[in-house]
Amino acid sequence: MPTYEYKCRACGFEEEVMQRITASAITKCPKCGEETFERVVSGGAGVLYKGEGWYVTDYSKKSSGGKDTTAPASTVPIPAPVSAPTPTPTKKAD
C-alpha cells in the first residue's frame, strides 16, 4: 500500500497517509477542517534492495525459460602452464 503526502493550503498541516491506489484523495484537513487538504507530489523512496539473497547478476546468464547454459567452473579443464625453453649458452669460435 503506497504512502501519500498531504498538505493543507489553509493551515500548512502536513501528514503522510497510507492509502490504497484506488482510494480517492482526502480533501478535508484533519487539523483545521477546511477542504484545502491535497496530495503533494514527491519523489518517493523508489525501490531499495537491502539484505542478502538478490544480486543484479543472479539471472543474467539464464535464458527465459531454462537453466544456465554455461558449464560449471569445476568441469572445465584448466591447461597446465607452459614454460619457455631456457636458452643454452653458445660457444664462441676461436
Asked whether residue 58 is domain-assigned, the answer is: no
Asked whether residue 11 is domain-assigned, the answer is: yes
Asked whether residue 57 is domain-assigned, the answer is: no
Domain range for residue 7? 1-17+31-43
| pLDDT of 64 above 60 | no
pLDDT at res. 44? 66
| Cell numbers describing residue 13 | 498541516
pTM of full prediction above 0.85: no
* Mean pLDDT score, 3-16: 93
CB atoms within 10 A of CB 37: 24
- Number of domain units in the chain: 1
33 or 93, which is more confident: 33
| Cell numbers describing residue 43 | 519523489
Percent of the chain whose pLDDT exceeds 70: 63
40 or 64, which is more confident: 40
| pLDDT of 28 above 60 | yes
Mean of per-residue pLDDT scores for the chain: 77
Nearest to 39 by CA among 26, 21, 28, 23: 26
